[in-house]
Amino acid sequence: MTPTGKSISIVVLSYFLFGLFNLFQFGQFVVPITYIEIIVFVLTLVGFLPHSKSLSKVHYFFLAFATLGGIVHPFLWEIFLDQQTQFSIQNSIAFDIIRIAQYLLLALFFLMISYSKEEHKLKIEWLLPCVLSLGLLFNPPSWYTNMLFILSGFSAFYTLRRRTVGTDFLMEVLIGIGVVYLMNCFV
């Protein structure tokens, strides 16, 4: 396993151990589902920081998606603002525009990863996540986002097993995010 894969495994394991701790203490397996966008941002940073010099346009699209998700998340705003100010900011149109931009970046990411420009061929394992990411623009992302990232995790695992990608750390990040979203389905 690569050092990036080990770091991603540690983040996913700590997410799992949080739920396991709640199971032993309160009798229910509860993971912090509301902080999933922060976890996606942390997983992306953990995967991308060691490889910051070799990032391509595809990597930057996913990094921008994760960064916008972290910016929009209320956890960061709770630290600096009181509740009334936070409520007025959250209800402004700027957050909706940022969400739309976030989903557009995700759709562009999956479009770029599903087509190989050098070989002029479509990667079939990325076609379903690509279509689902385009559907995020028209469907409220409650259960839809979970399914999208679980399928992208499976697609990344399939891509690594087929060895169609060299040593791209992006696949490890997508597998980690897919595992976290899969854990959320069982809560």
pLDDT value of position 142: 63
pLDDT under 50: residue ranges of the chain: none
pTM of the model: 0.84
Q: Where are the alpha helices (DSSP H) in the chain?
A: 3-26, 36-48, 57-72, 74-80, 83-90, 93-114, 127-135, 143-162, 169-185
**What's the pLDDT score for residue 65?**
93
pLDDT of residue 75: 82
Give the pLDDT confidence score for residue 66 in this predicted structure.
93
Give the pLDDT confidence score for residue 134 in this predicted structure.
Answer: 81
* pLDDT at residue 140 in the model: 62
Whether residue 132 lies inside any domain: the answer is yes
* Domain interval for residue 42: 3-81+99-185
The reported pLDDT for the residue numbered 141 is: 62
Number of domains into which the chain is organized = 1
Query: Residue 88: inside a domain, yes or no?
Result: no
- The per-residue pLDDT for range 109-129, each reduced to its tens digit, is 888 888 777 777 777 778 888
Q: For 142-173, write each residue's pLDDT tens digit.
A: 667 778 888 888 888 887 777 655 557 788 88
Q: Distance between CA atoms of 112 and 119, rounded to whole angstroms? A: 13
Rounded distance between C-alpha atoms, residue 33 and residue 68, angstroms: 18
